Amino acid sequence: MTETSILVNNALSQVPNYVDNVDQPRIFAASFSSNAFMYFRVAPLPDNPKNIDMVRMRDYIEDNVRPRMSSVAGVTVGRYDSLEQMQNTIIKRDGDRIVRLNDIAEIDLDHFETNSESWFKDEQVLSLQVKRESGSNVIDIKYAMLQEVERINEDLLKPAGMQIILNSDDVRYVEASISNVLFNLSLGAVFATLVMYGLMRSGRATMIAVIGIPICTLAGIAFAIGMTLDNTIVVLESIALERQKGADPKRAAVLGVQRVWTAVLASTLTTVMVFLPILFIVQEAGQFYSDIAIAISSAIIASMAVSVTLVPLLSGYISYSVSPSNMRIIAETRVPNRIEELMDAITTVYERYPGMRAFATKGSIISSNDAGFSHLNGYGYQ
C-alpha cells in the first residue's frame, strides 16, 4: 500500500498544472480497520454529586484514562506523542527528496479550541472511540477493553465523581455473524445425519459417517458439510455390499475400500480442481472467496482421508446390520407407476409454457431411474 501511494503521488506531482479552481489531488491510505468500533462516554455520576464540569475534565481524561485504554492489546494509539514527531511527519516523497510537514507548515503547541461537543440526555459528556490495529481480533479487544474500563471506573473515575460507559460497539455484528454460521453449520450437520440414517437405516453406520465430518473454517464448512459425507457414503455402501456377499467385517472393510478408493480419489480431485482457480484471482472476488475455497477444498480432502482410513477401521470393529430391506437407496423405486403419475402432472403444468421441454425432462428422469435399477440389480438388489 505504501509503495503504491508513493507511485501515485509521484505521478500526480508530474502534472504541470490544473484547471482553474481545481486543487492538486491528495492521496492517503485508508482501510476498514482504521474505523472506530467501540464508542464510550465519560459522564458525571448520577445527580453529579461533585458538580463536575466535564469540559474542564478533558485534560484529566487525556492524561489518565486514554493511556490505560490505549494499553489494551490490539488497540491503535492513533496520536502523536510529541510536537517533534508531528513536525517530522512525511507528506511526500519525490525520488530521494522527502517533504515533511514541518517544511510546508508552521506547527506550534497551543491551546486547543473546541470545535465539537458531546451530549447525552441533556448532559454534556466526553466521547472516546476505540480503533484497532490492522490484523487484530476485535472480539478479543472488546472483552479486554470492557475489563480495563471496569478497572478504570473503580480506580480513577468513581473516586473523582465520574464514570465511563459503553455507548455502542460494532462487534455485536461480528458475533451475530459467527453465531449465524454456527447455527447453519449445526443445522446442516443434523440434516446430513438424518439423510445418512434414512439411507443406511443403521444407527451405528450413521455414527461412523458422522465422525467423518471434519471441522475447519466455519464459512467453508457451512457450504461443504454435505459434500464431506459423499466419500463416506460411497465407502460405507461398498463395505455394506461386501458384507451382504458374506465377507466378515474386517475383510469387508478392506474389499470395500479397494473397490471404490480410486473413484473417491477422482471425485475429490475433481471437486478441488473446481475451486483451485479461485486462489489465483487477484481482484476483490478472489480475496473474498479464497478463504471459502480453501476451507471447502481442505474439508473435502480431509473427508477423503477419513473415508478411506477411519471409516473402514471403525466399520471393521463396529458391527451393524444393513439388509436390502432396510437400505433405501434413492435410486431404488419399488413403484415406477408413481413416477409416471408425477411426470404426467408435471407435463400438464409445463404444457402451458410452449418454450419448456417437458417431455425431454420426463425422459431424462425416467432414464436415470432405469439406470438406478440396473446398477442395484448388478449388486444383488431385487
Average pLDDT over residues 84-106: 79
Look at residue 289 and tell me whether its pLDDT is greater than 80: no
Look at residue 179 and tell me whether its pLDDT is greater than 60: yes
Side-chain-side CA neighbours of residue 347 (13 Å): 12
User: Domain with 155 in it: what CATH number?
Assistant: 3.30.70.1320
| Residue 375 confidence (pLDDT) | 39
Confidence of residue 221 (pLDDT cuts 50, 70, 90): low
Average pLDDT over residues 265-286: 81
* 224 and 363 inside one domain: no
* 204 and 276 inside one domain: yes
User: What residues contact 21, with CB distance under 8 A and at least 6 apart?
Assistant: none
Rounded to an integer, what distance in angstroms lies between the CA atom of residue 31 and that of residue 280? 23
Rounded to an integer, what distance in angstroms lies between the CA atom of residue 362 and that of residue 341? 11
| Residue 333 confidence (pLDDT) | 44
* 25 and 165 inside one domain: yes
* 187 and 159 inside one domain: no
Percent of the chain with pLDDT over 90: 1
* 92 and 232 inside one domain: no
The residue from 117, 142, 169 where one domain ends is 169
The residue from 149, 169, 189 where one domain ends is 169
The parent domain of residue 278 ranges over 176-324
* Residue recorded with cell 464448512: 221
Question: What is the number of domains present in the chain?
Answer: 3
Residue of 76, 103, 78 lying closest to 91 (CA atoms): 103
Confidence of residue 358 (pLDDT cuts 50, 70, 90): very low
Q: What is the pTM of this model?
A: 0.48
Please, are residues 130 and 36 in contact by the beta-carbon 8 Å criterion? yes
User: What residues contact 274, with CB distance under 8 A and at least 6 apart?
Assistant: none
Q: Which of 205-214, 222-231, 264-273 has the highest mean pLDDT?
A: 264-273
* 354 and 296 inside one domain: no
Q: What strand order describes the sheet that includes 118-119?
A: 118-119, 124-131, 36-44, 162-169
The residue from 169, 189, 210 where one domain ends is 169
Which tops the pLDDT comparison, 132 or 340?
132
Mean pLDDT of the chain: 74
Average pLDDT over residues 326-355: 57
Helix residue ranges, H only, 62-170: 66-70, 83-87, 101-104, 138-152
* 381 and 342 inside one domain: yes
Confidence of residue 13 (pLDDT cuts 50, 70, 90): confident
Look at residue 25 and tell me whether its pLDDT is greater than 60: yes
Percent of the chain with pLDDT over 70: 71
Which tops the pLDDT comparison, 21 or 79?
21
98-112, 189-203, 336-350: lowest mean pLDDT where? 336-350
Average pLDDT over residues 82-107: 79
Rounded to an integer, what distance in angstroms lies between the CA atom of residue 77 and that of residue 81? 10
Helix residue ranges, H only, the chain: 2-13, 58-60, 66-70, 83-87, 101-104, 138-152, 171-200, 203-211, 218-224, 230-244, 249-275, 284-308, 310-317, 336-350, 358-378
* 132 and 192 inside one domain: no
| Residue 337 confidence (pLDDT) | 55
* 162-169/124-131 β-pairing: unpaired
| Residue 351 confidence (pLDDT) | 66
C-alpha grid cell for residue 201?
437405516
DSSP calls for 312-343:
HHHHHHS-----TTT---TT--S-HHHHHHHH
Rounded to an integer, what distance in angstroms lies between the CA atom of residue 358 and that of residue 17? 67
* 40 and 100 inside one domain: yes
Confidence of residue 111 (pLDDT cuts 50, 70, 90): low
90-99, 245-254, 323-332: lowest mean pLDDT where? 323-332
* 289 and 213 inside one domain: yes
Please, are residues 251 and 272 in contact by the beta-carbon 8 Å criterion? no
User: Domain with 299 in it: what CATH number?
Assistant: 1.20.1640.10
* 32 and 61 inside one domain: yes
The torsion angles phi and psi of 8, rounded to 5 degrees, stand at: -65, -40
Confidence of residue 229 (pLDDT cuts 50, 70, 90): confident
Look at residue 4 and tell me whether its pLDDT is greater than 70: yes
* 152 and 203 inside one domain: no
101-110, 168-177, 268-277: lowest mean pLDDT where? 101-110
Rounded to an integer, what distance in angstroms lies between the CA atom of residue 78 and that of residue 114? 19
